[in-house]
Amino acid sequence: MKIQSKFNQKGVTLIELLVALVIAAITLAGVYRVFISQTRSYAVQDQVMEVQQSVRSAMEILLRDLRMTGFDDDNPNSDVTIANPLAPVQTGDITINYEYYRRNDNPAITEAQKYESHQVRYWRDATNPNNPILRRMITVASGLTNGVTTETILENVFALTFTYGVDLNNDGIMDDQNANGQIDANDWRTAAQVVALGNPRVVAIMVTLTGRSDQTNVDVSKVVSPRTLVSAVTLRNLSLR
């Protein structure tokens, strides 16, 4: 009977085991680095989309109010009169006025009470410099209700700027200031320039709104640059006057 010595059994040497452990560690380290890189890339892309969508939504709300600037129903049942559609022009703060008809089927409410005067103000509130906020304050006045409501439209606002299109010849159309046959960037006026011109009729407003990512996440905020959206709106209720 042949007896096999235990010293002849095949196995793994200590050196082979150490080499295998080193190779496994290198592989795991590579997989971990790829995982961290993909996670960070996803976080950055998520922040980029969130900032862009937030700025776009805030801009839509702002433009919706700007389009209403100076609206006056001229209904004989209305006691509302819009005497000052656009408050004194400013660079980063704007206040507009318009008439609003609030539908209400309550028979106890008269027709005149359904017409409201809305004064809406937008500004960049930098009370907290780490998180400036775009605020909207609306003052409602009517024969039925009066009140002031302030709400946050957008957080982490990097910049908010208003420039103005003016109508010096009173033809209801924004002036081509440089007479090149088209409305371009050179035809818009800053608030200071509008005042220097003697506060002519403003018929268009260009809004530049810049939002940034949440600054509490330092790794993401260093990578995601501020996103800017520029939109222009014609104040049709003032152009037609």
**Where are the domains positioned within the chain?**
57-239
pLDDT at residue 50 in the model: 86
pLDDT at residue 94 in the model: 96
User: For the chain, which ranges sit under pLDDT 70?
Assistant: 1-11, 38-44, 219-221, 240-241
CB atoms within 10 A of CB 221: 16
pLDDT at residue 4 in the model: 55
pLDDT at residue 36 in the model: 73
* Distance (Å, whole) CA 228 – CA 241: 33
pLDDT at residue 8 in the model: 55
pLDDT at residue 54 in the model: 93
Contact 120/67 with Cβ under 8 angstroms?
no
pLDDT at residue 32 in the model: 79
